[in-house]
Chains A and B, each alone.
Chain A
Amino acid sequence: MGANFEPNNGEAIFIAMLDGSDGWRKDVRDRLVAKGLPTKRDEAWKWSDLRRAARDITKRGSTQLRAEMAPQWADLKRETGDEFSAGALAQAAAHQTAFFRHHLGGTYNIELGASVGASVASVVISLPRALEYTILEHYRAADGALAIANVDYEVGPGAKVNRVVLFDDAPQAGWVLSSNVSLAPGASFTQTSLTFGAKFLRQETRLSHPGQGATATLNGAYLVGAGGHADMTSIVNMQGEGGELDQLTKGIVHSGGRAVFQGKIHVDQAAQKTAANMTHRGMIIDDRSEIDSKPELEIYADDVECSHGNAIGTLDEMALFYMQQRGLPEADARRLLVESFLDETLSAVKDEKTRDSLSGRIAAKLKGLV
């Protein structure tokens, strides 16, 4: 490998961020030098070619982190494997990780901005207490940005965490957000993501689920239009007995937009009595748009209740007629149908104001669109 490999513009910049590093960082750099960023030939990235997204990136950019509290900055170590890891690259190239540990429950905002060019960021959010936390993450990027961010969660025993991830419209930017979420027994973790796509966008969530009374909900909505790309990828490892997982991803593509859903649930032999459900529903408004999806269940325990559903469809014509028959003009009926289709994914957001604000963003985006 690698003899003929020439890094493209963006790859060269990510490699340069790691120049002179040693230890695990050097491993990350060596891998990047040898194989580059993943392409459609890599199974895990087959619908999201990161290498291609880096091609036209010609300068080094930067990320800006804003939060109510100042983080501690730490040089954290990380295990690396053979596979490309966007999280490892971000953490290695960022050198310093912003570390937030919240001993008090409540709501915390984090905003991550990316300027034009290639950039990275690394954040760890530690929520150790058996309290209720809401973390609102807001991502915005300038035109011509390609940012790779690692945002990990450590959720303590009995902690109840509501994570909300919102990507601002960024039709001319690229985002990779990779998260390792580790739950302690008895923890509850609820994630809700909303994206309108970007030139390139991928959110990966890797969840380590210990069972033992822990529960996790992973919900997401995408609404992707012309030139947009949104990839929602998740890998959940159920590792202990009696774990619960609920996953609902729904999305709409239109005007040539493209979306990807990859969901994998792996159930260890030790994870008996796991109850896991994964559902993906996609709606394709016109024939220029595309959704690719790959739901996977990998089960090594024999006493589990696991299911997955995956359906891609168009607007329900009979529902449209029914609504029109009651007096709603066709455009209003369409809007109401698609709005309510996506709204279901927001139902786990506890805070009503946040939920309304997300719902409002969807409504605004849909106005005059369908």
Chain B
Amino acid sequence: MLEIKNLHASVGEDEKKPILKGLDLVVPKGEVHAIMGPNGSGKSTLSYVLTGRDDYEITDGSISYDGEDLAELEADERAAKGLFLSFQYPVEIPGVPTLTFLKEALNAQRKARGEEEISAPDFMKFVREKAKVLNVSPDMLKRPLNVGFSGGEKKRLEILQAAVLEPRFLILDETDSGLDIDALKVVSDGVNSLRSPERGMLVITHYQRLLDHIAPDKVHVMSAGRIVASGGPELARELEAEGYDKYVRAA
């Protein structure tokens, strides 16, 4: 279970700007929660604060997973604890083949958890199976990570990485951005196949359309750095029809 209590966070190297202003959220295991909100409400900031990006400083409140405090951990330590962020804009890493990167990442996590490293043949077999389902070609796996990939390819690769790293908690930041209908279907099928009673998910999105494919258990509305409303899936449809205006004003 992911628990966020009274979270305050500021962003910036020198001049700190407060973005999150007392955010409370609980996502139990096995549930998919969506966070919707207008641009600038702090949705992406929340994803970076949760995963431990530098210069995103928690000034008050707490983040814990299954009761374990995450706030003091480095980004890679949080990853090893099972936190995975599917980036809105996956970063291109020239010169590092996708497969090499995935194997290094997986073994780094296993090592951090005191598990044995996976052997090269086992890893290859494991990745190939997952890649096939997500329509990721062997050629893509050989190419440098994300370099020259289309928007759809990058998002498919994000989900493939999640499938390989098997995180306990998945954060999807604007996963539908830059996707056409076909790619959206492949990506959301991939996400749905990752749903499990042991895994929670937080789906951050501006639009409702992703939620047609990934049905959330709960929907939260974020505005000015806080959750201002929560409800069932019907809340997403209401937002789509009526916009964020009343929540922005309420905040």
- Add 18 more A-B contacts to A326-B79, A326-B105, A333-B76 (CB < 8 A): A318-B91, A319-B93, A322-B91, A324-B52, A325-B75, A325-B84, A325-B85, A325-B87, A327-B105, A327-B165, A328-B104, A329-B74, A330-B74, A330-B75, A336-B96, A340-B95, A340-B96, A343-B95
Q: Of B76, B94, B96, B109, which is within 8 A of A330 by CB?
A: B76
B165 CB contacts on chain A under 8 angstroms: 326-327
Is A24 engaged at the interface, CB distance under 8 Å to the other chain? no
Tally chain A residues at the interface, Cβ within 8 Å: 23
Q: Mark A295-322, 1 if CB is under 8 A from B, else 0.
A: 0000000000000000000001111011
Determine if B87 and A344 form an interchain contact, defined as CB atoms under 8 angstroms apart. no
Is B10 engaged at the interface, CB distance under 8 Å to the other chain? no
Is B101 engaged at the interface, CB distance under 8 Å to the other chain? yes
CA of A31 to CA of B144, assembled, Å = 52
Is B238 engaged at the interface, CB distance under 8 Å to the other chain? no
CA of A333 to CA of B51, assembled, Å = 16
CA of A155 to CA of B144, assembled, Å = 34
A328 CB contacts on chain B under 8 angstroms: 76, 104-105, 108
Determine if B108 and A329 form an interchain contact, defined as CB atoms under 8 angstroms apart. yes
Q: Which A residues contact B (CB, under 8 angstroms)?
A: 316-319, 321-330, 332-333, 336-337, 339-341, 343-344
A337 CB contacts on chain B under 8 angstroms: 93, 96
B112 CB contacts on chain A under 8 angstroms: 327, 329
CA of A337 to CA of B104, assembled, Å = 13
Interface range on chain B: under 10, 10 to 19, 20 to 34, or 35 or more? 20 to 34
A341 CB contacts on chain B under 8 angstroms: 94-95
CA of A321 to CA of B91, assembled, Å = 9
Centre residue among B80, B87, B108, B165 by max chain A CB count within 10 A: B108
What residue of chain B has the Cβ atom nearest to residue A316's Cβ?
B91
Is B217 engaged at the interface, CB distance under 8 Å to the other chain? no
B101 CB contacts on chain A under 8 angstroms: 323, 326, 336
Per CB-CB distance, the 8 closest pairs between chain A and chain B, nearest first, are A340-B95, A327-B109, A324-B75, A326-B105, A322-B91, A327-B79, A324-B76, A327-B108
